[in-house]
Structure 1
Amino acid sequence: MSRAEQALEAAAPGGRIGMYRWRVCAMLLAATTINYIDRQVLGVLAPFLQDEIGWNEIQYGYIVTAFQAAYAIGLLCTGAIIDKLGTRVGYAIAISVWSLAAMSHSLAASVVGFMLARFMLGLGEAGNFPAAIKTVAEWFPRRERALATGIFNSGSNIGAIVAPLMVPVIAVTWGWQAAFLFTGALSAIWLVVWLLWYRAPERQPKLAAAELAHIRSDPPEPSVKVPWSRILRHRQAWAFVAAKFITDPIWWFFLFWLPKFLHAEYGLTLLGLGLPLIVIFVLADVGSIAGGWLAGRFIKLGWSVNRARKGAMLVCALCVVPIVFAVQADNLWLAVALIGLATAGHQGWSANVFTLTSDMFPRRAVASVVGIGGFAGAVGGMMIATFTGFLLETTGSYVPVFMMAGSAYLLALLVVHLLAPRLEPARLEG
């Protein structure tokens, strides 16, 4: 009996479904965790590197903008490259670049040196989400993708938790250069495991026929690649692009300015930053998984995919609104609670926004759509990085940025609904 016949037989009622696909999800979780550890090292060390290297707020904004610019360029290109080369090779190339770039920060001794290192890091790290989203689309049926995305996306929060826990200790013990070297080495270890272990579902001999049938239980899709010009004809693509452009900059602000905000407003030391940042990103981690679970729960209650996805996104958007009061908080832990609720809202939102791509586009186009949307988000990140640098240098006030954060998600949800009122699949043929 052929493997295809075994799969059909295993798909019959009563057949047991394996769990191998969740091992793949665990690999994506590990990669995303490392991805965010690498990028978060600078944010954790920023208040103290600023004194050592001698940059001002505007120059720090430029360093962050260099990362965002490369990230934008990388996302615009890597989605199509990964669609062409496949997730195994495409992911390997991306993580090779970002591993070397992360370690190169240890050689930087000036603003320009950090800008160059951040630029290369942005190019490599841009491949993570297009590759991970495409892997989820290949390994999970549509009804499980939001949860799988929420799980691997929670790695961004785990990375943001591990970084303030680990980086200050390494920096104080062995110097700030060692922090960049250590985190870059983690990427290299993941790369070796990925190349030795990962195969596509049809080529993975350890995958049971029943699980393969479960993975392929959605209607079959054509395998012809889709050019960007055809993707961008559809309002569904612009809905995802708009969501990323409006809300991604808020997450970038959280990553690169929260340590500076806590240091400036509450006088926290390098070691003192650890616990507040850990609490904030633990809450974000909970929000990431809860956001994906909530949409799936709504679907199980009989809601349409459209209503369930947007209902979950609305709940997440409302969680961010109270952050407007964080700047006036006279107590550190009240500020931490408000910011943590906002980061949880963002990550739950993000899990559902990423899943919009596989709701509305076939697997063969998912990485390209994610890349285009990620480009838009990174461009928004460039804008907020430069804006925040000039704002803080001239006024020292975080109020305008927190006001933007509180309103961004509701605005984005309105735009998504106007562009994709029913989340209908895009018809790419023809």
Structure 2
Amino acid sequence: MTSPPTQEKTLSGLQQAAGKVGKYRWRILALLFVATTINYVDRSIIGVLGPTLQNHVFHWTNTEYSNINFAFMIAYGLGMLLMGGLVDRVGTKIGYALSIGIWSIFSLSHALVTRSMGWIGFAVARFGLGIGEAGNFPSCIKTVAEWFPKKERAFATGIFNAGTNIGAILAPLIIPLVVMNDGTNWQFAFCITFVFSAIWLVLWLTTYRKPEVHPRVGKAELDHILSDTTAENSERLPWRRVFGLKETWAFAILKTTDAVWWFYLFWGGFFLHAQFGLELKGLALPMITIYVISDVGSIVGGWLSSAFIKRGWSINKSRKVTLLLCALLILPVAFATQTDNQWVAVVLIGLAAGGHQAWSANIFTVVSDVFPKKATASVVGIGGMVGALASAMANLGLGRVLDSSGKSGYFFAFLIAGSLYLTVLLIIHLMIPKMTPRDEHLRYVHK
């Protein structure tokens, strides 16, 4: 195994090195970024449009809205488990294509829901959307593991993960252009990404191969990709083999923080509406601000741990110090309900969302740090299932609390959102203090 180079000190150095060894892997990363952006436009529509649909079209209670989100999250959790194993079994190219095809069809199906169907019609559409969208992150993490050396993976993950924020920014930017404050034309909001999904599918199916067999990847770039890892062999590794490993469940515990991200995504607009009286068009700028800050967090968080590694820190120290900084950045969001100034609340939520995205970029990378490439999608799927189930229960509980106690229920939601990350990080450090990697037979690699 070749020792990783140490001369790259900064992002500019990384880009210069990319130019010398070839840069086709960055084109693959661009496809991941675009797909994740489409994914989050589809996913974010309900959070942006939710108050309008609740007040002017379907007249849902908070409990009924939480039931819609519960259906999505249960499907997302089930889909994570199924899609993670499927992507490892059939490969990234076919697995990812199936995922985006399914979620695009079910995104369109929302526009067919009538008032007589009520929240149940939306719940069915969201269930199908959840199954399809569950394949995005297992596919992306596996692709990054296939195409990037470990020293670049957190940065690459931060870049494609930034697509979540771009999608969340585009949703409140585009939806008010086609939907009125009274809900007129709401169906159009669920049709806007289908064409882009179809174009992406064509590009993916005609472009993607593993780097070892890709005709556009030269020897220098392939050597760089494999500089601190090895090529994946063809032997299959069933997901049940990783199910009992403590590292799998450490990642799953890290993913329980997804409940906080889904809270921002699905309830952020509702909170700003309840606390400050913002309608659809008034929500646009605050929500865009939150997700712009999130975007910065995603990229900087991925870059930071990679920068620590390039300074000679161990992977274990680099990832965990970055996670600690993220947790400390998130902590002040507990005070979001204690201000009468909407922009103070928006900045607190934005910083917390940015901290979460930096956290996510690093915990996803932990999987490829510890597990062989052939197991990454399965482990991400198992962890994603746990995160989705935690999110489902949190959504279900919050809807009922809000119906019974009014907007004061948000106090406890933000308190938990601010304190959860430090608690989880302590647990993980006790579970895997050294983050020792495993080989393709899942045995520890001792250096």
| TM > 0.5 fold call | yes
- 2:52 maps to 1:48: yes
Secondary structure in 2 matching 1:421: coil
**Does the 8 Å contact 1:243/1:415 carry over to 2?**
no
**Does the 8 Å contact 1:83/1:365 carry over to 2?**
yes
Moved more, 397-406 or 224-233: 224-233
Partner of 1:139: 147
**Does the 8 Å contact 1:26/1:152 carry over to 2?**
yes
**Does the 8 Å contact 2:273/2:279 carry over to 1?**
yes
Secondary structure in 2 matching 1:154: helix
Partners of 2:417 and 2:105 in 1: how far apart? 33
1:237 to 245, 248, 261: 248
**Does the 8 Å contact 1:236/1:426 carry over to 2?**
no
Identify if the C-alpha distance between structure 1 residues 387 and 298 changes in structure 2 by more than 3 Å, giving closer, same or farther: same
Q: How many residues align?
A: 417
Partners of 1:167 and 1:183 in 2: how far apart? 12
Identify if the C-alpha distance between structure 1 residues 217 and 111 changes in structure 2 by more than 3 Å, giving closer, same or farther: same
1:395 to 405, 424, 428: 405
Partner of 2:12: none
User: Gaps (5+ residues) in structure 1?
Assistant: 1-12
Task: Kindly provide the amino acid, as one letter, of the partner of residue 237 in structure 2.
Answer: V
Identify if the C-alpha distance between structure 1 residues 139 and 219 changes in structure 2 by more than 3 Å, giving closer, same or farther: closer
How far 1:429 moved relative to its partner?
Answer: 4.2
Task: Kindly provide the amino acid, as one letter, of the partner of residue 236 in structure 1.
Answer: E
**Does the 8 Å contact 2:30/2:160 carry over to 1?**
yes
**Does the 8 Å contact 2:253/2:424 carry over to 1?**
yes
How far 1:207 moved relative to its partner?
Answer: 1.9
Partner of 1:339: 349
Partner of 1:4: none
- 2:414 maps to 1:407: no
Task: Kindly provide the amino acid, as one letter, of the partner of residue 334 in structure 2.
Answer: V
2:105 to 100, 117, 126: 100
- 2:171 maps to 1:163: yes
Identity %: 53
5 Å-filtered alignment, 1:309-328, equals 309-328=319-338
- 2:139 maps to 1:120: no
Partner of 1:283: 293
Partner of 2:4: none
User: Gaps (5+ residues) in structure 2?
Assistant: 1-16
Task: Kindly provide the amino acid, as one letter, of the partner of residue 231 in structure 1.
Answer: V
Partner of 1:269: 279
5 Å-filtered alignment, 1:320-399, equals 320-396=330-406, 397=408, 398-399=410-411
Q: Which string of whole-angstrom CA distances, capped at 9 and with x for unpartnered residues, describes residues 74-126 of structure 1?
A: 00110110011111110110000000000100011221110000000000000
Partner of 1:200: 210
Calculate the TM-score normalised by the size of structure 1: 0.94
Partners of 2:19 and 2:95 in 1: how far apart? 34
Q: Which string of whole-angstrom CA distances, capped at 9 and with x for unpartnered residues, describes residues 24-75 of structure 1?
A: 1111000001100001001100001002102100000000000001000000
Q: Which string of whole-angstrom CA distances, capped at 9 and with x for unpartnered residues, describes residues 329-377 of structure 1?
A: 1101100110001001000000000000001000010000000000000
**Does the 8 Å contact 1:38/1:184 carry over to 2?**
no
**Does the 8 Å contact 2:155/2:303 carry over to 1?**
yes
Partner of 1:10: none
Identify if the C-alpha distance between structure 1 residues 390 and 207 changes in structure 2 by more than 3 Å, giving closer, same or farther: same
Secondary structure in 2 matching 1:25: helix
1:23 to 23, 27, 34: 27
How far 1:167 moved relative to its partner?
Answer: 1.2
5 Å-filtered alignment, 1:166-181, equals 166-172=174-180, 175-181=185-191
How far 1:234 moved relative to its partner?
Answer: 1.9
Task: Kindly provide the amino acid, as one letter, of the partner of residue 254 in structure 2.
Answer: A
Secondary structure in 2 matching 1:207: coil
Task: Kindly provide the amino acid, as one letter, of the partner of residue 52 in structure 2.
Answer: F
- 2:218 maps to 1:218: no
Partners of 1:194 and 1:222 in 2: how far apart? 23
How far 1:222 moved relative to its partner?
Answer: 4.5
Partners of 1:127 and 1:213 in 2: how far apart? 29
2:78 to 61, 70, 73: 73
How far 1:218 moved relative to its partner?
Answer: 2.5
Partners of 2:236 and 2:37 in 1: how far apart? 30
Partner of 1:6: none
- 2:135 maps to 1:148: no
How far 1:317 moved relative to its partner?
Answer: 0.7
Q: CA RMSD in A?
A: 1.6
Secondary structure in 2 matching 1:272: helix
Moved more, 190-199 or 46-55: 190-199
Task: Kindly provide the amino acid, as one letter, of the partner of residue 145 in structure 1.
Answer: R
**Does the 8 Å contact 2:371/2:442 carry over to 1?**
no
Task: Kindly provide the amino acid, as one letter, of the partner of residue 272 in structure 1.
Answer: G
- 2:98 maps to 1:87: no
Partners of 1:429 and 1:59 in 2: how far apart? 44
**Does the 8 Å contact 1:103/1:185 carry over to 2?**
no
Partners of 1:314 and 1:194 in 2: how far apart? 36
Q: Which string of whole-angstrom CA distances, capped at 9 and with x for unpartnered residues, describes residues 366-413 of structure 1?
A: 000000000000001101110110011111120010011011100111
Partners of 2:229 and 2:157 in 1: how far apart? 20
Partner of 1:8: none
